[in-house]
Chain A
Amino acid sequence: MKSNLKFVSGDEAVALGVRLARPHVISAYPITPQTIVVERLADFVEDGSLKAEYMHVESEHSAMAAAMGVSSVGARAFTATSSQGLLHMAECVHYASGARFPIVMMNANRSIAVPWSIYGDQRDSLGLLDSGWIQVYVEDAQEALDMMIQAYKVAEHPEVMTPFMVNLDGFVLTHTYEPVEVPDQKQVDDFLPMYQSTNKMSMDEPKSLCFSTSPADNQEFKYMQHKAMEGSVDIIREVDAEFGQVFGRYYHGMTESYRCEDAEAVLMTLGSVTGTVRTVVDMLRAEGHKVGVFKIRYMRPFPQDEVKELGKLGSRVGVLEKNISFGNEGTVFTNVNSVFSTLEKRVESKNYVGGLGGRDITKEDIRGIFMDLLSKEPFTERVEFIGMGCDTNE
């Protein structure tokens, strides 16, 4: 296969992936740090390398509403957002999944005001876990590009018909340059045929979409939506495996486990911090410590089988996340423990919250977490904020 390496940012990798997926219409509204995605796509439409309609909408709410309009006639839609923008469109995010429109959206994970911050954490998308969208969190620019292609294939699968959100950590991923292999268009076209659906308004067979139901029917629609999302786990695994065969890059489906088999301490991660944790794992392994990292790729559907298998290994498990559900704990932690609770043997787990508002999570922070997990001392607290600076009592 001819190599086509490009040195691009995460945002640019997303744009390249979207171009390969050939959406019919892009509805775009800018927000830092997503902007470069919609800028590059505008360039591609202008220079003719992407045959799509580029729609300037006046808000994120309209970006998703327009994307739903596009999908409602059976065309392929793309949009991208971040943070405040994702929350502004929240009504439409739920709407799209209920309507079973397989829209693909890139989200640049960014903190939520107040305090205002343009920097990354994952509170935006995790706040919409219950919106009925498939959510994947990628680790680097290559995975970002590849997932744009996989996303459409999974979302548009007749048994799935569920919108798909690809999450990139703001700045750490969106604005970091990396060498990226750009797949061949012909191969992508074969892998991802044009969208075909009966869930659309058509002139041959007119339909009323996005209707209302009485209490006599509503729950059945929600049940079907739930079953489709659950069933998407198999499709996600199949599509990833097929992608690996065609393009030579395989992402291990729902999760990726690294040196966990014999580990005494495992740290679970989401997104770009995984790379740093992997480096620390190698360093600690070289020092003789039995540690591993478990990357959660999909938050919805949740990787129940994989997390359960991890829980059976008997390691102490830390969950590192850039998120907090105020007054409780990190939501990733809640989801993980919910699966652990189904196991006969209790898994000792602890939540590490860090990186909020773009704060760096350093190798030292991660080393500290592993030492805490390896200490075998009973945990003194369930949730620990790592990398704290000033005294917050003042």
Chain B
Amino acid sequence: METFIQISINALALGSIYALLSLGFAVIYNTVRIFHVLHGAAFLIAGYATWWLAQEQGWPIYLAASTAVILAGASGVFMELAIYRRLRVRGAGFLVSFLGSLAALFFFEGLLLTLARTATRLPRAGGPLPTLHLQSDALGIDLFIKWHSVYTIVLVAILVVVVTLFFRYTKWGRMIRAIASNPDLAVAVGINASSVYLLVFVLGSTLAGVGGVMQTYEGGVIPNVGIRLAITAAGGVIIGGIGSMPGAVVGGLALGAAQTIASYYWGGNWAIPAGFMLLLLVILFRPYGLLGTREHRELRRLL
């Protein structure tokens, strides 16, 4: 029982970060229809910004983290204006946009390698994080729970609710859904597609930035993980169901759970293969994703 609880908490903490990444990816992909590999860059920007502001400039950690998230969101503006909008104007198709995104990610990682080197950048003094020790002989438990894991799970849950409410009840949320559902019709009725695209990149990048801050605070940040992050984000979206925001969250959580369970039963080297195995099984047996349905997909793109 104790082990089950410990593993569940581990899975939830890891899955929460994945869920954030996947949700941010889904926000962008569902609207703009771009395989946004550069999504990992927002994560890295937030991580490195947190480290630099907190450790190098001596800022209080909450101020550094908040600023880092804002910077990550702002990077979304840059990505849209400097890369994707230019490609759209030139009539670039899906594949060219994907390759452009990939090239930009590799360039960005190379830049990080040059500027920040490969040392793990931790935005705090080194050492273990505070933990909550739950012990009860009567219940037969002896658990150590990182407070940081608790904060991460709660924060992600709050963000998911906020994003859900945003899309359902706000004017901008409805505009995004309209563009995602039928861009031509949406433009015809007067929705500014360019503004909407800009907003989704800010929103998606901000979500990735929050993930970057949380993970960096715990384990530091290194430059060469952009591809892995992009695959994780995309994998969560596919597992959960393309076009479904809740699906992206569920997909991310499922990925975290699969990796944690595989790591426990078969060893740490099976974590990544287990994630891909889950992805493969979903594609083979439920191609619309865990929360996707044919009706859902055809009638409602978002929520």
Partners in one complex: no
Residues of A bordering B, CB below 8 Å: none
